[in-house]
Amino acid sequence: MNFVIITHVQHIKDHNKYYGYAPYVREMNIWLKYVDTVTVVAPIENIKLDAIHLDYKHKNLKFKEVQNFNTTSFLNLLQTLLKVPSILWTIFWAMKKADHIHLRCPGNMGLLGCLVQILFPKIPKTAKYAGNWDPNAIQPRTYKIQKWILNNTFLTKNMQVLVYGEWKGSSKNIKPFFTATYSEEKKEAILPRSLKSKINFVFVGTLSVGKMPLYAIQLVENLKKAGQNVQLSLFGDGVLRKELEAYIATDKRDEFIFLKGNQNKETIEQAYKESHFLILASKSEGWPKVVAEAMFWGSLPLTTNVSCVNYMIGKGSRGKLLHLNLEEDTQMVFDLLQNEAQYLKMSMEARNWSQQYTTEYFETEIVKLLAAS
């Protein structure tokens, strides 16, 4: 089987290996265990490798490089108009030789892939929509176009579309799906985390406006002011780092707020194990992977109501929703900290739910998808 991947994920070539964003590549490597040859159509960037990158594990992998593009300004739009014909041609010829087409959406490449795949109704296809499938979500127009095409069975013949959560109004080719990080062998006994000692909060994600790391900092800061023995570790990097460093450096915030930068999965895993709470204050998410990961280790999520999060936290039985009102959210967390029995019960329910979705279970579901093609 020649498995063709169309993705916007930026790649790095190093010593004849191709690297990409580790969670994405780790997932794709599970798919690639069951195919003979792989063709990846994606952009390549000249950036340094770090802990957030991982390489594809397949001996018969071909890479079709295309130019990166966006429409964020008038100049970029003009440049995109010049680039798109060549990119469409590359996608077309890759799909023509495919036995299975796999689209990664939403994204610029995903949009072009959605359009070109219409020309190949007989080739089996899957599309992983890693964004928010909520029909009421505020999203860019290009994302809405991709969702419209993917939800149209006439335009997506022989395709299964994998989305996060169950949503009303979805067509018959839409399949609720998930993403797994940990294997069965990772399951281990987790000692209850007492709230009588220092209470550890973690933030895992890009330091960007959309992820709202400052809100996480201010929430923990308010709890500290309320007399709670708390600390917050932020894992990730991004454009807001310098701004956050300046904020943390004042008023002794650096005594209980720590910027850890990008770290490998082992370090993140240990952080989850040692934390009481995960804070996710994002404005938008697809599958909030960090929520599932934290829950796997019994770290209770405090999260905004984005995408399928409310389903993941059992509508409040294994996590708490943030309303992005500092006073209200501080009081909500403060009240929970006064009830250790409730916290421990919720923590256990979070762990039990997340540990259902292991990489073995994920792999079984992928095999079913490929077998149906």
SS3 letters for 226-261? CCCCEEEEEEECCCCHHHHHHHHCCCCHHHCEEEEE
> Can you tell me the mean pLDDT for 116-143?
92
* Confidence tier at 154 by pLDDT (50, 70, 90): very high
Measured in degrees and rounded to the nearest 5, phi and psi for residue 103 equal: -100, 140
Is there a cis peptide before residue 106, judged by omega within 30 degrees of 0?
A: yes
Superfamily for the 2-180+359-371 domain: Glycogen Phosphorylase B; (3.40.50.2000)
Residue spans per domain, the chain: 2-180+359-371, 185-354
* Confidence tier at 311 by pLDDT (50, 70, 90): confident
Cα 327 from Cα 219, distance rounded (Å): 9
The CATH code of domain 185-354 reads 3.40.50.2000
Query: Which of the two residues, 343 and 47, has the higher pLDDT score?
Result: 343
pLDDT for the residue numbered 226: 97
Supply the pTM of this predicted model: 0.79
Residue 122: pLDDT over 90: yes
pLDDT for the residue numbered 323: 96
pLDDT for the residue numbered 191: 84
Cα 344 from Cα 350, distance rounded (Å): 10
Residue 86: pLDDT over 90: yes
> Can you tell me the mean pLDDT for 103-119?
96
- What is the tally of helices (H) and strands (E) in the chain? 12, 16
Mean pLDDT of the residues in the chain: 94
pLDDT for the residue numbered 293: 95
pLDDT for the residue numbered 72: 77
Residue 286: pLDDT over 80: no
Q: 2-180+359-371 and 185-354 share one CATH topology?
A: yes
The predicted-structure confidence for 28-76, as pLDDT tens digits, reads as follows: 999 999 999 999 999 999 888 888 899 999 999 999 999 988 877 888 8
pLDDT > 70 in the chain, percent: 100
Residue 114: pLDDT over 90: yes
The predicted-structure confidence for 234-265, as pLDDT tens digits, reads as follows: 999 999 999 999 999 999 999 999 999 999 88
Q: Name residues whose C-beta falls within 8 Å of residue 316's C-beta, 6 or more positions apart in sequence.
A: none
> Can you tell me the mean pLDDT for 211-232?
98
